[in-house]
Structure 1
């Protein structure tokens, strides 16, 4: 009997003894056996600590507005695995994914692949058959040893570099930057979204002959003053480089960082050579959307905001967003994170904008999951340490929703698992 997609996902979760096992040897062997070549005429690979998913969404939306046939590979997913692979703006169907997994299984022989390696090969296999103009690959972890680095990109992007995944990438920003810079290629553009990238990134670019294109140095972006607003178009911003500029609508995606993410996307597409028009840039920036990035809901006058932010850098962006638009009433935080995160650093970045903390467990979220009591113990000496405790995100949301009043805001954040649980609860309530 043919396996369903659910069967396959269960199977590929069990094959490799580790959920993370970085390296390119295994995936390269299977890719060769599959006969994989280029996934598209042009490839952009997007790495970085934060902002990867949003930057991919901007690149995808602008390229589609330009009439290109586009594939995007992202991770992790929120509600369904199919979200990870998009072709022509649509999630991959179950049948297509099953066909790809069957081909990979037949080719791998004795090679033991990780869950992420299966998914990456499936994306590349489907993209090659779709005859794409552009494939956008989001790095899963790091860059140098990530499965997506199997493909040589025409343009590499590093959105930001900050402290995260230290167990795999190193203890400091310089070490992490070196790992992320591994997606760059000699004599190809490397787009850098940080105004002050780690010196390790710049050294590596110089060593291999990559052309570093830096925010605040080679391209610039700034919000336009209110008097520059067009009558019917609302707030706008400008992207510019030497000899070229374009005025664009503010991104539909919230948070201060989204203008930077959109600017990095514009730079990446300009670097490809065949640039979209100004009108196509504007249409794509306005259309880009990613679930779980300051995604807003309303229930009886209570605003509920869901965000995947899971490290101190992301928490600083959340804090800036809260400060820019404070709620009329109280702001409640429902916080749940995986066991390997700098949760104290997250709370330190956010505590000034939070009136009440509600902690939730993620015990059922794989080997990195953590129950609420252990989670609360890690936060004992922080502003969140005296927060209420709930077994899971759904229980926390139900409790907070019951006590919140009109004008209050509930911010649910800390992990993709947290956001997925919140979105599922909201769909049912």
Structure 2
């Protein structure tokens, strides 16, 4: 049941107070289903008068959303972008015309949705999703880009009928909610597709369940390798779609071998929508050059080499392993490694175990967070070596693990921070806290 009205913040209450309240008003943090959220959306008379692009998938969602936003902004459109989770500040989840929403804009919308829900209980994700959709509806936007939180079929974002939907990849994650094989997960994710609307699939080997579902509802399925593709050399790359080519493009500013797959999916969506959202070639080039997304194979400037990656499942870890291999030689790799207990920890270790020499296992907060000691035990159980050139350490949190790794590393070594959004966020927060001290 919701908390009493006496404990409710108001539109002028601090954002932190609102977020704490929203975490307290529903009995479960995840409660799949669209009935409650649709009911409150109807009370709010929520209507997004903009082109709507919905992006789902196991990995690559955030990168694809960021590239779409950058290209559309470069083309002069008014753009709303909703992503989750955030790294440092909740405001990152809602961007209007390239800027994070202000605290006041968010708390005003939280108050409106909280009032409209009455006795209907909403999860933190459901209420914040409705609030951000309402913010977008009131912002006179040309296009909104909405990242699916979990799965697709029963995710709160799926109350929106997409004008174009993208599934970036299908692999094992959230198996307790979505199923334990790619066919079950693909079926869940395919439910963001809509009859008669462009349905982009960037997975080179999509589950048959996804293809069958798209065909059964009459979606216009665009498959990578059949309806669109890319090719590249060391200097530039080209996109080829059903009837549009984009040639001689610089590589996206986001690093990693998989980013051309994400970029080509974004360009397929723009091709499918070009009658409503024409995007000139110069805007595509500029957008891909300027796109930024923290925590996706992000290499921080300066020395030592520090790589931040939110990879938290085996599919993402395999991509990360390839990207590390392409970086050149480093004597030793130090990993700040933290994971949640509902993830495939052993599968992630299997993909990266031989890429790391020294492990600094970081405890993560909350009931889902593994302690440093538990994570270290999982590494040892997997047979990860400990000798004169390799080690495993248990640390209280990501900040402590990062500090210990920095203390131990030698000149020319690199640090990899990965395993969860919380791991990367913990290290970034410690860096932000340290910045004023370094400036003095």
Moved more, 240-249 or 395-404: 240-249
Q: Is the 8 A contact 1:205 1:212 kept in 2?
A: yes
The aligned counterpart of 2:429 is: 424
Q: Are 2:100 and 1:98 aligned?
A: no
Q: Are 2:289 and 1:314 aligned?
A: no
Matching of residues 246-261 of structure 1 within 5 Å: 246-247=246-247, 248-261=249-262
Say which SS state the counterpart of residue 55 (structure 2) adopts.
Answer: strand
* TM superposition shift of 1:289: 0.7
The alpha-carbon distance between structure 1 residues 105 and 34, as it changes in their structure 2 partners (threshold 3 A), is same
Q: Is the 8 A contact 1:376 1:385 kept in 2?
A: no
Cα distance in 1 for residues equivalent to 2:144 and 2:300: 32
The aligned counterpart of 1:229 is: none
The alpha-carbon distance between structure 1 residues 37 and 385, as it changes in their structure 2 partners (threshold 3 A), is farther
* TM superposition shift of 1:205: 0.4
Q: Are 2:290 and 1:287 aligned?
A: yes
* TM superposition shift of 1:241: 1.9
Deviations 1:174-226 (A, max 9, x none): 000000001010111110011110000000001100111011111011213x4
The aligned counterpart of 1:297 is: 300
Gaps of 5+ in 1: 227-234
Matching of residues 223-242 of structure 1 within 5 Å: 223-224=232-233, 226=234, 235-242=235-242
The alpha-carbon distance between structure 1 residues 375 and 328, as it changes in their structure 2 partners (threshold 3 A), is closer
Say which SS state the counterpart of residue 329 (structure 2) adopts.
Answer: coil
The aligned counterpart of 1:4 is: 14
* TM superposition shift of 1:375: 2.5
* TM superposition shift of 1:385: 7.3
Say which SS state the counterpart of residue 380 (structure 2) adopts.
Answer: coil
Among 325, 328, 332, the alignment partner of 1:326 is: 328
* TM superposition shift of 1:384: 4.1
Say which SS state the counterpart of residue 121 (structure 2) adopts.
Answer: coil
* TM superposition shift of 1:400: 0.7
Cα distance in 1 for residues equivalent to 2:219 and 2:242: 20
Q: Are 2:371 and 1:371 aligned?
A: yes
The aligned counterpart of 2:168 is: 159
Cα distance in 1 for residues equivalent to 2:415 and 2:135: 39
Say which SS state the counterpart of residue 300 (structure 2) adopts.
Answer: strand
Say which SS state the counterpart of residue 50 (structure 2) adopts.
Answer: strand
Cα distance in 2 for residues equivalent to 1:308 and 1:384: 21
Cα distance in 1 for residues equivalent to 2:93 and 2:243: 37
| Cα RMSD, aligned residues only | 1.4
Q: Is the 8 A contact 1:332 1:410 kept in 2?
A: yes
The alpha-carbon distance between structure 1 residues 383 and 90, as it changes in their structure 2 partners (threshold 3 A), is farther
* TM superposition shift of 1:100: 0.2
Cα distance in 2 for residues equivalent to 1:34 and 1:327: 56
The aligned counterpart of 2:34 is: 24
* TM superposition shift of 1:369: 1.4
The aligned counterpart of 2:348 is: 346
Q: Are 2:125 and 1:116 aligned?
A: yes
Deviations 1:373-414 (A, max 9, x none): 222333332254751111111111111101111210100000
Among 413, 417, 420, the alignment partner of 1:412 is: 417
Cα distance in 2 for residues equivalent to 1:186 and 1:384: 49
Cα distance in 2 for residues equivalent to 1:18 and 1:354: 37
Cα distance in 1 for residues equivalent to 2:34 and 2:377: 38
Q: How many residues align?
A: 416
* TM superposition shift of 1:244: 2.3
Say which SS state the counterpart of residue 317 (structure 2) adopts.
Answer: helix
Cα distance in 1 for residues equivalent to 2:384 and 2:307: 19
Matching of residues 56-95 of structure 1 within 5 Å: 56-95=65-104
Moved more, 413-422 or 241-250: 241-250
Cα distance in 2 for residues equivalent to 1:238 and 1:383: 43
Among 53, 56, 60, the alignment partner of 1:44 is: 53
* TM superposition shift of 1:319: 0.5
Cα distance in 1 for residues equivalent to 2:396 and 2:422: 14
TM-score after normalising by structure 2: 0.92
Cα distance in 1 for residues equivalent to 2:115 and 2:361: 45
The aligned counterpart of 1:232 is: none
The aligned counterpart of 1:231 is: none
Cα distance in 2 for residues equivalent to 1:285 and 1:383: 41
4+ residue runs over 6 A deviation: none
Gaps of 5+ in 2: 1-9, 387-391, 435-440
